[in-house]
Every structure is written in structure tokens, then in C-alpha cells.
Amino acid sequence: MKAIILIGGEGTRLHPLTGNISKAMVPLLNKPFLEYLIHYLKGHGVRDIILTTSYLPDQIQGYFGNGGEWGVNLTYLVEKPPLGTAGAVKNAEAFLDEPFFVINGDIVTGIDLTEMMSQHQKKKPKVSLALTPVDNPTIYGVVETDDKGMVKRFVEKPSWQDVTTNMINAGLYIIEPEVLRHIPPTTHSMFEHYLFPLLLSKGEPILSYPSATYWIDIGTPEKYLKVHHDLLLNKAPSLSTYRPQISSNAKIHPSAQIEGPVLIGEGCIIAQGARVKGPAVLGARCQVGEGAVIEGAVLWHNSRVGKKATLKNCIIASNCRIQGGSHIPDLCVLGDNVVITRNKKLAQRTLAE
């Protein structure tokens, strides 16, 4: 089977974290996020994967190569300028000769792709669309279906009085190749705003595949932090292979307190009297100074936390320096190479932004 991962552009919603890194390479439990997606697809029998990207493609190709190390075949398609979700798939048309999966490159989910394909082959729609329930459908586009599970219409960000369902587009599709003839070549177009409404207007069947299994997008820092907490706390049982652990070559002082679940990367140093309380992640070669406290935080690689500094429920990118006595409060994000001194006024970026 084949799949397309829509990596797309810069991913500014995760800024400053994606300012100089492709969102596909943003760490998820100390590994590039794209590695999770590849394992997920491979686990459902997908071996041929097309990556569509327009921002820093060399980072991705330099790490993953042809995909052989992961047991898959990777094909790279670089868009200049970006073509949108539907346009990106149209751009891959020459590689597509059978029903194929499409997945947005910023979601973490346990949706059963094998069963979804089985339903698609049984009912033979032109498109199958995975749906997931959310608490607040007014901030998404909801998808209305009939009693047979066929999609009736798409409603973009309805007001509460107009909400008829809490099921939204999960960013995961199965598409028949002949559908691509409806997408203009080399033109920016989107599934939800162009192709899917067009198919409905022509009477082409779109099958829904509702699923209540774990689903989250990592498109904002707030959700990026949440998915780390969920995985470490085993709140996503379908993704149970992601387990907390401490690298064998990490150096942890006997008086340091480690309260799980935590993931501590290779080469980390945790000094006397320091405390790391989970759910928390330390990337490779991070250093935690004497008496420092890290609680619920995600640190990328090569960051240093000074003596008696405190970090709580925040995201710290690579090569940061948090000097002694500093306090990084809840819902704060630091990009790469930031230096925080004890008396420096912290320009806070909340995760809700």
C-alpha cells in the first residue's frame, strides 16, 4: 500500500519551535516526529510513502534518506510554491495507481488504518474520511453524515447554535486515483474547501470512518506539550510502544530525585539535589544543575539548566542556557539558542498563542 504524508510549509503555528526546523523533524519523545508517522503507517502495511514538503526538505532527506533503515521506500516531492493539501496530492499523481492513504503531517493518532481500508474496499466510495470527536467543534470544520455513514456536508467553524455534530475531519483519508482528475495541476487547492465539496456537488460518494481512539494535532505548542504528557502517562494506549526510559549513559547524582514518568536522553547530566518530575523529557546531552527543578517540561538537546533554576510545564528548544536561579513559568516556550539570566525579564510566549 501507498501513503502520502502532507508535511507542507513552515508550520508557523509552532513558531518559534519551527523557525529553523521542518515540523516533520520536531522531536516527539526525542525522535523526529516524522519517524512516528513512518512507524504508524508501516504498522498497517504501508511500505511506499511519498513526502510532500516545501520548507527545509534537505533536513528530512538528510536524516531519512530513501527510508531503507525504517523498512519503507520514501519519495520526496518539493513544492515551490506550496500547493495546499489537494494540490500536493495532485502533484504526486504520477506515483498513484491504486487507492492510497493521505495523512496530515502534524497529527498523532491510533486510528486503525487496516480496518479503515477494509471498510473502503467493502463500500467502494471515491474517498474515505476519518472523523474524530472533539469537545469544542466550533473551532474546527465539522462533518455531517447520514445514517449510513456517508458524508452529507462540511460546515466550517459553526456557531454553537448551528452545531449538529462534534465529529471533525481527522486529517486522514483514503482516496481513489481517479478523483485526482478534479484537481487542477500546479494550483493551490485544499481538500476541505475545494475537492471534497466539489465531489459532493457531483454526487460522488464520500464515506466517513468515525473513530474515538486517540487523536491530537501538534500544530500548536500547547498540544505539542500535551501529546508528550499523554504518551508518557500512557493515556494513548494504542501508542504504547512510546515508553519512558532513562538512557544508560546518563549521569545522575545519587541525591538527585527522578519521579517518573520521564524520558532522559543520552549523555544527560543531572547534578546533586536536582529534581526531575514527570511527565518530562530531556533531550540528548542536557545538563541540570545542582538543586534545579524540572517538572512537566520538554527540553530538546544540548540545553543547560543552571543551579536552583525552576522549569515547569514549558518547552525549551535546543542549545538554550537557563542560568542559575532563573524561573521559567508554566506555558512558556523558548526557541533555539535562548539565554535566560536570573534578572532578565522573560518575554513569555504562552502556549495558547
Measured over the CA atoms of residue 42, residue 44, residue 46 and residue 52, the dihedral's sign is negative
The residue count of the chain comes to 353
Same domain for 202 and 247?
no
Distance of CA 324 to the CA centre of its chain: 33
Average pLDDT for 285-312: 97
- Per residue in 233-262, pLDDT (tens digit) is 998 877 766 677 999 999 999 999 999 899
Check pLDDT > 80 for residue 290.
Answer: yes
Assess contact for 49 and 68: CB atoms under 8 A. Answer: no
* Owning domain of residue 196: 2-212
C-alpha cell at 88: 500536493
Distance of CA 251 to the CA centre of its chain: 30
Q: Report the number of distinct structural domains present in the chain.
A: 2
Where does a domain end: 155, 181, 212? 212
CATH number, domain with residue 7: 3.90.550.10
Distance, CA of 72 to CA of 50 (rounded, Å): 10
- Per residue in 97-116, pLDDT (tens digit) is 999 999 999 999 999 999 99
C-alpha cell at 282: 530531556
C-alpha cell at 172: 486522514
Same domain for 135 and 236?
no
Same domain for 15 and 105?
yes
Check pLDDT > 50 for residue 350.
Answer: no
Burial class (CB in 10 A: 0-12, 13-18, 19+), 69: exposed
Same domain for 7 and 113?
yes
Distance, CA of 111 to CA of 122 (rounded, Å): 18
Same domain for 233 and 162?
no
Distance of CA 265 to the CA centre of its chain: 20
Average pLDDT for 317-342: 92
Same domain for 225 and 205?
no
User: Helix/strand/coil (H, E, C) string of the chain?
Assistant: CEEEEEEECCCHHHCCCCCCCCHHHCEECCEEHHHHHHHHHHCCCCCEEEEEECCCHHHHHHHHCCCHHHCCEEEEEECCCCCHHHHHHHHCHHHCCCCEEEEECCEEECCCHHHHHHHHHHHCCCEEEEEEECCCHHHCEEEEECCCCEEEEEEECCCHHHCCCCEEEEEEEEECHHHHHHCCCCCCCCHHHHHHHHHHHCCCCEEEEECCCCEEECCCHHHHHHHHHHHHCCCCHHHCCCCCCECCCCEECCCCEEECCEEECCCCEECCCCEEECCEEECCCCEECCCCEEECCEECCCCEECCCCEEECCEECCCCEECCCCEECCCCEECCCCEECCCCCCCCCCCCC
CATH number, domain with residue 322: 2.160.10.10
Assess contact for 51 and 74: CB atoms under 8 A. Answer: yes
User: What integer best gives the mean pLDDT of the chain?
Assistant: 91
pLDDT band, residue 81 (cuts 50/70/90): confident
Average pLDDT for 35-39: 95
Where does a domain end: 212, 233, 255? 212
Where does a domain end: 188, 212, 236? 212
Distance, CA of 294 to CA of 284 (rounded, Å): 15
CA distances from 37 to 32, 108, 188 (A): 9, 8, 25
Same domain for 75 and 203?
yes
- Per residue in 158-171, pLDDT (tens digit) is 899 889 999 999 99
Per-residue model confidence (pLDDT) at position 12: 45
Same domain for 242 and 328?
yes
Q: Which of 143-152, 219-228, 229-238 has the highest mean pLDDT?
A: 143-152
Burial class (CB in 10 A: 0-12, 13-18, 19+), 85: buried
Same domain for 141 and 241?
no
Angle at 307 between CA 225 and CA 287, to 5 degrees: 55
Average pLDDT for 132-149: 92
Same domain for 183 and 244?
no
Average pLDDT for 178-184: 96
Same domain for 303 and 200?
no
Same domain for 321 and 253?
yes
